[in-house]
A and B are shown apart, each in its own frame.
Chain A
Amino acid sequence: MTECKYYNKRKDEPVKTDESPDDFFVRIPWTGNAMGLQDLNFLSSTSPIVLIGVTGVASAGKTTFLATLYCLLRHGYPIGDYQFAGSKTLIGWESIAWFLSWSQHNDIQFPPHTSSNAGRVPGLLHLSLKDSKGEKRELVFTDAPGEWFAAWITNRQGEKSTGAEWIHSHADAFLLFADCEELSGSGLGKARQQIKQVGDRIKHNLDKRPLGLIWSKSDIPTERSIKEQISAHLQNSPIANYKDFEVSARNDEQNKFQLQILESIKWILHALNVQVNAVPETERYAPSDLFLSKR
């Protein structure tokens, strides 16, 4: 528990206990905070999960993306045919969404930098979704510090790259963040280089796993040619499932940048759903045979 990077942040929480210490209690096995590896094992032992690797260098807007996603869901927005059906990390989601919520004092801010002292496995945020047919999907998002990916670019097997390597080997789908603020300013050269390099690392052994490119902070205009360069680089070798999305925490009148966040998750779910094999037809199947029709 103490290894969890979010745990200490919650020590101001008033916990009233009127009961004497020897009383019997049912303890709830999930903390509500972002999960670690043990919790993931617990979750994946009961139902198959979709692990979505949220990747990109520091300050690219990864945590803000996740916080905005949660804010949209808690306002009742669906993801395609799916809607919110619970979460075992509600405190984790609410904590990052809290920064993007207005309080009595009108203070609102972007979530603080995700700290990089968290070790080998990223903070994991869980989400249950259910579609209109009653089919459930368990999604888990990685909330990792950008420094992991910077280290991963330099040395894939380096000591500081274990977290990024873990995400790369376990994720079912990836979102790669390209920061439009950097790409439109003096940081263009370095930012473009890093996006391409993280993209190259992800593409290694990517197979059919979807890779979505997220143009974050898209309310800041970026030259089309720069975006095309990056997009072309990523697709210089074929990617089975690739799409890009222009997103931002700020909506403007023409562009629903926030809703593109939902679209990116919808696209991942769709790409993964079509990979499921169709139920094979048996050779002896005959519609006139009532017994076989029952299959």
Chain B
Amino acid sequence: MRHQIYSFQNDKMSNTENTILLIGGPDAGKTHFGGQLYGRLSARTEHYKILSSPDDISIFEEVLDKLNQGKSAGHTPVSEHRTVALEIEDKQGKKSIFSFPDYGGEQIKTIVNARRLNKIWKDQIDKSTSWMVFIRPDKLNPIEDLVNRALPATEILNKRKEKGGFHFSDSAFYVELLQMFLYAKGLGDSEGTVVPRLTIVLSCWDLLSSDEKKQLPKDILKGKLPELYSYIVSQWEPHSYSIIGLSSLSKTLSPTDSDQEFVNQGPESFGYIIDQEGAEQKDLTLSISSFIE
């Protein structure tokens, strides 16, 4: 396992107010987002631009190589944990650090199951002033219990043997994750949270049904993870959280077969976010704007 943190010198860090930490489980779309965001930032044509290229951009290069061939990028190995700090500025010259971690999303599951965080995570959490939590709504397991589906007859119920295979519902999993991260940052839960600011990113938005796509991102979260939604609304102060949709590639790519349209138009022509008001924005760099403005 590699433990490497590439970051800017401290004097540069002190000039900035925002350090953004990206949090997401396996298959949540962090890698594709990272590649696409880096591409947009370094193109310097969008709202946010990169200030100087970091020493090691291999984690983005691998993704951009694949995307330029019209293919999807591979899965980040479970034990990998590298971080690239991108120093960015907006059109007014306001600077921020976007701390892009490259880790196997399984680490997020391990944190909740083992109930502990290692030093790399602790440092990342301490430094961060904003969290982006990636959740893939099309992969969530809907809760089906006695509230939304009637119980069978008592005679049938009484014959049942003890059932096994307990696991957290998705909603409870994310609530526990956020409770743990707030604790690790040394924050109590009796006061409303202002810092870190929180953005819930509903990724792979293009895979939602056409009816779902007509809804606001916050209504999708409320519908699919009501417990998490209640928790966020209760724990974070109203202007300190946002819920947005994201499609990094606009479509699904295959890891082996090239998508010619994607190759022809280039990765920068694909991807969009759905802002809090439900408007589609082509500028992927705006996904971090709620932290900065």
Residues on A lying within 8 angstroms of B by beta carbon are 9-10, 12-19, 23-29, 31-32, 46-47, 68, 71-77, 83-88, 90-91, 93-95, 97-103, 107-110, 112, 128, 130, 134, 136, 249-251, 258
A71 and B115: CB pair below 8 A? no
Task: Indicate if B194 sits at the interface (CB-CB under 8 A).
Answer: no
- For residue B259, which residues in chain A have a CB less than 8 angstroms away from its CB? none
B235 and A23: CB pair below 8 A? no
A249 and B164: CB pair below 8 A? no
- For residue A18, which residues in chain B have a CB less than 8 angstroms away from its CB? 1, 78-79, 110
Bound complex: CA of A84 vs CA of B174, how far in Å?
14
Interface residues on B, range: 35 or more
With A12-B164, A71-B145, A75-B147 already in contact, the answer to whether A47 and B190 are too (CB < 8 A) is: yes
B188 and A46: CB pair below 8 A? yes
- For residue A97, which residues in chain B have a CB less than 8 angstroms away from its CB? 145, 169
B175 and A102: CB pair below 8 A? no
Spot the interface stretch: B15-23, B223-231, B245-253.
B223-231
Question: Could you name 23 residue pairs across A and B whose Cβ atoms are closer than 8 Å?
Answer: A14-B113, A18-B79, A23-B119, A25-B118, A27-B116, A28-B116, A46-B188, A46-B190, A74-B143, A76-B229, A76-B230, A85-B231, A86-B235, A88-B179, A90-B175, A90-B176, A94-B166, A95-B166, A97-B145, A101-B169, A107-B163, A108-B157, A108-B160
A74 and B190: CB pair below 8 A? no
A252 CB to closest chain B CB, in angstroms?
9
Bound complex: CA of A74 vs CA of B146, how far in Å?
12
Interface string of B162-179 (1 = CB under 8 A from A): 111110110110011001
- For residue B165, which residues in chain A have a CB less than 8 angstroms away from its CB? 103
Interface residues of B in 101-129 (CB under 8 A from A): 106, 110, 113-119, 121-122
Could you tell me the dominant secondary structure of chain A's interface residues? loop
Chain A residue at minimal CB-CB distance from B165: A103
Bound complex: CA of A91 vs CA of B121, how far in Å?
23
B117 and A102: CB pair below 8 A? no
With A84-B234, A90-B175, A94-B172 already in contact, the answer to whether A75 and B143 are too (CB < 8 A) is: yes
A130 and B234: CB pair below 8 A? yes
B172 and A108: CB pair below 8 A? no
B15 CB to closest chain A CB, in angstroms?
28
A17 and B110: CB pair below 8 A? yes
Chain B residue at minimal CB-CB distance from A107: B163
Bound complex: CA of A134 vs CA of B235, how far in Å?
9
Spot the interface stretch: B32-40, B148-156, B280-288.
B148-156
A294 CB to closest chain B CB, in angstroms?
23
